[in-house]
Structure 1
Amino acid sequence: MNTYKKFLLASAMIASPLIAASSAQAQVSGIAVADPEGAILGAKSLEAANATIATTYKAQLDQVRTRQQALQTELTALAAPLDTNKDKQVSEQELAAAEAAKNPILQKIKTAQTNGQQEVSRLNAPALRAQAYVIEQITQKYNPALETVVAAKKISLVLSANSAQFAQPAVDITDAIRAEIDRVLPTANITPPANWQPGQQTVQLLQQYQQAVYAQAVRQAQSQGAAPAAPGATTPPAKPQPQGR
């Protein structure tokens, strides 16, 4: 009897992983989740294009960094008189006092910010336009890549990763979609047609990408004890993690 029980136990231990694997495969074959933004913004062609953009528009991007640094220095000097307790920062109370007194320094700061940001935007525009064009090319490959993966894995339903409360890693096909995009679009053109304008989705994806790059820069700067630069079209030192689930 003991030998028979041991045999059943051993059989169950062998069968369990097989059943689990079969269940996971069934999930992948039926229902899957995907992160469209993660697949698009994580494409290798975007990473490669960023390197090309950084080289092509190096002069403008260097000017952007120089102007940002000059603007920060200017704003710090303008705000210094508002720091009444001399702790090298303007508190909410000090700012409120300046507003209540209608201190003319506030208008000078606002004017300097507006002028500086407009100049930075002008210098950044060509590189950002190129980056947006690359993102739009990748976006156009997303649906065909999704269809290819769905057909290969025999999936009947794909949910957005952001809307799923829980999903096993086995049902996430984002990496598979990204790999298919990389296969069909290994490189992207950084030169848009003369009259090309980015669509709303492209603009949103570009903004999301910039935010991811900036968040990464903030984390790196904090770890190094430095202040991060404002977000722009500069190439990040490493590929940012897409903001998904």
Structure 2
Amino acid sequence: MKMYQTFLLGCAAIAPAFLIAGTAQAQVGGVAISDPETVILTAKALDAANQTIGTTYKAQLDQANARQTALQAELATIGAPLDLNKDKRLSEDEIAAAQRSNSPILAKLEAAQKAGQADAARLSSPATLAQAYAIEQISQRYAAAVKTVVEAKKISLLLSAGTVQYNAPAVDVTDDIKAALDAAAPTVPITPPAGYQPSQQTQQLQQQFQQLVYLAAVRRAQAQAAGGAPAAPGAKPAPAKPPVGR
């Protein structure tokens, strides 16, 4: 898979699977809900940041991709003796058989995989850190977007969608807050200051974003395999497996 595709895949590609249904009159009796993660991870600024990161750090991400490709070849070579039916892949049954026989090849596979993934993570680290910084910058602008919507719609109580068991679509202001955020901050910086380390919350948001990108890619691949459905208009190629994080 190509590591830089993680950053080239726009937020719009994951939005249909991630956004709560849109609303018209986004409040009932002054009470509304929103999904902060949706607003942040589908923000226009993150889409723009990913595009820039993919270009700025293309050399490093290409190197990480090459290391991943080399790792796959290395694992295939090491695991070949366990591939009993010679289909160039290890099935669960073949792995179970190796475990029962205490094959030392399993330890070699694990060591090679850890080393390869560590190398790929190191090579892609500048791009990963830049993406985390962009997400953090967007997160810091979320409160201002909320204030804009709350004041405009005269909302007296705003709840997080994750803590609400049921809501009518009309009380969801997620789209409204996203629109306010996109208007106020269509772009954010991607160059972190020296010594920057993302907060735990930022790391969690980044992991969520990468998982959503992966799931969106899986859904598209499944749809294409099932019915030959074309990719969504404007969608970029997606990774075939989850990106390596920091």
| TM-score computed with the length of structure 1 as normaliser | 0.79
Q: Which residue number in structure 1 is paired with residue 48 of structure 2?
A: 48
Q: Which residue number in structure 2 is paired with residue 157 of structure 1?
A: 157
Q: Which residue number in structure 2 is paired with residue 38 of structure 1?
A: 38
Structure 1 window deviating more from structure 2 (56-65 vs 211-220): it is 211-220
Structure 1 residue ranges without an equivalent (≥5): 1-23, 234-245
Secondary structure of the residue aligned to 1:162 is helix
Could you tell me how far apart the structure 2 residues matched to 1:227 and 1:48 are? 18
Distance 1:232 1:97, change over 3 A: closer
Shift of 1:73: 2.0
Q: Which residue number in structure 1 is paired with residue 116 of structure 2?
A: 116
Identical-residue share of aligned pairs (%):
59
Which has a greater percent of helix?
1
Shift of 1:47: 0.3
Secondary structure of the residue aligned to 1:192 is coil
Distance 1:219 1:120, change over 3 A: same
Match of 2:242 among 230, 238, 241: 230
Q: Which residue number in structure 2 is paired with residue 92 of structure 1?
A: 92
Count the aligned residue pairs: 210
Q: Deviations over 1:140-179 (max 9, x none)?
A: 0111211221111111111221222222222111111111
Structure 2 residue ranges without an equivalent (≥5): 1-23, 226-237
Moved over 6 A (4+): none
Q: Which residue number in structure 1 is paired with residue 142 of structure 2?
A: 142
Secondary structure of the residue aligned to 1:195 is coil
Q: Which residue number in structure 1 is paired with residue 181 of structure 2?
A: 181
Secondary structure of the residue aligned to 2:193 is coil
Q: Is the 1:46–1:134 contact (alpha carbons within 8 Å) kept by the matching residues of 2?
A: yes
Structure 1 window deviating more from structure 2 (27-36 vs 124-133): it is 27-36
Could you tell me how far apart the structure 2 residues matched to 1:151 and 1:167 are? 21
Calculate the aligned-residue CA RMSD, in Å. Answer: 2.2
What amino acid maps onto 1:180 in structure 2? Answer: A
Could you tell me how far apart the structure 1 residues matched to 2:242 and 2:25 are? 45
Q: Is the 1:29–1:154 contact (alpha carbons within 8 Å) kept by the matching residues of 2?
A: no
What amino acid maps onto 2:242 in structure 1? Answer: A
Structure 1 window deviating more from structure 2 (125-134 vs 65-74): it is 65-74
Q: Which residue number in structure 2 is paired with residue 238 of structure 1?
A: none
